[in-house]
Amino acid sequence: MKKAHNKKTASLRSVLPEKLVSYVGQVDSIEHPPQGTAFQVCILSSPHGRFILKQTDSPSMVNALIKECQILTALQHYAPFVAQPLGDAETDHGHAFLFTCIEGDPLHVALNHSSADERHHLIQHYAQSLRRVHGWAPDLSQPTDWLTQTLQWVGTNIQAKSRGACVAGTNSRFDGEDAQQLLAKLQAHRPSLSNDLVFCHGDYCLPNVIIQNAQVMGIIDWSLGGYADRRFDLATALFSMRLSLPDSDYLTTFLQAYGYSEPLETLEFFEALHALTCAFWQ
């Protein structure tokens, strides 16, 4: 028995920095859920509970992981709707972040197993949860002009690419457009817009909303969280819905449940901005 315990401890330490081992204790199982390529993610189960370990060895993503830890720390007043951060640590090749697990299925998975009526019900909860987040007021710094600063950031990233670079890989209607020309359109439209600053998720898509028993249990992946224009979160949500739900009635359900009464066209600027940020993230 002792030999088996030592083997499990050794296995744990192969994936978990020594600084974080005490939170988890003896690990019973390690799962590797399907994730994007930005981080390496595993679920650790032990008598103490279930935990998420997120790691990266990319310098740019290390900063994102550290920011996620900071955001979750600032959001602890809103737990358990957000995970509880337990600790982060440097590793031999990068950084690791340990936090509690929110149980359930990603919303896009739940939608795949639902009827049309159930989907509308879930989309209503999707919208209401975003409205809930937008009502939070964590003690974090706020930009003076988010719209201008974001356009400048995107412009710098586009300039770093080859001349004539196009939007690509976003799975949106903007793929194939000349990035400089699209940016110029947004810059020309910028003076007609005022910032509508609230606390935002930053990547409010279906996979980041966790569902259990047809209820939203929580929201994950907070590395892009912070104060921003609420319409960017709305545009991100619509983009994600268009990928999974071809019926535009779901978009109407979402906007009505959120309480957004402006025409859908008022979000086109932010949908284009979302496409540019996805295409020219680095």
Q: Are residues 209 and 228 in the same domain?
A: yes
Strand order in the sheet with 40-46: 29-31, 40-46, 49-56, 95-100, 85-90
Residues 115 and 208 in one domain: yes
Looking at the fold, whether 84 and 115 belong to one and the same domain comes out as no
Q: Name the domain boundary from 100, 126, 161.
A: 100
Last residue of a domain, one of 74, 100, 126: 100
Residue 137 and residue 263 share a domain: yes
Question: What pLDDT, on a 0 to 100 scale, did the predictor assign at position 33?
Answer: 82
Residue 37 sits in the same domain as residue 112 = no
Q: What is the pTM of this model?
A: 0.91
- In order along its 282 residues, the chain shows pLDDT tens digits of 333 344 444 455 556 788 889 899 888 999 988 766 678 899 999 999 999 999 998 888 999 999 999 999 999 999 999 999 999 998 887 899 999 999 999 999 999 999 999 999 999 999 999 999 999 999 999 999 999 999 999 999 999 988 889 999 999 999 999 999 999 999 999 999 999 999 999 999 999 999 999 999 999 999 999 999 999 999 999 999 999 998 999 999 999 999 999 999 999 999 999 999 999 987
CB 44 within 8 A of CB 30: yes
| Res 246: pLDDT | 84
Dist CA 214 CA 110 (whole Å): 8
Identify the pLDDT of residue 35: 64
Report the number of distinct structural domains present in the chain. Answer: 2
Parallel, antiparallel, or unpaired for β 209-212 and 215-219? antiparallel
Asked whether residue 152 falls in the same domain as residue 263, the answer is yes
155 with 89, same domain: the answer is no
The residue among 100, 135, 170 that closes a domain is 100
5 C-beta neighbours (distance < 10 Å), count: 10
Which of these, 248, 276, 72, 246, lies nearest to 180 by C-alpha position? 276
CA distance 95 to 60: 11
Residues 73 and 148 in one domain: no
Helix crossing, 179-189 with 268-279: angle to 10°? Answer: 140
Domain hosting residue 48, numbered range: 2-100
Are 48 and 25 spatial neighbours (Cβ–Cβ below 8 Å)? yes
Q: Supply the pLDDT for residue 8.
A: 45
Same domain, residue pair 179 and 271: yes
Q: Which of 37, 237, 275 is CA-nearest to residue 157?
A: 275
CATH number, domain of 196, equals 3.90.1200.10
Task: Report the CATH number at residue 46.
Answer: 3.30.200.20
Vertex 152: Cα angle to 161 and 208 (nearest 5): 85
Q: What per-residue confidence (pLDDT) applies to 38?
A: 76
How far apart CA 252 and CA 259 sit, in angstroms, is 11
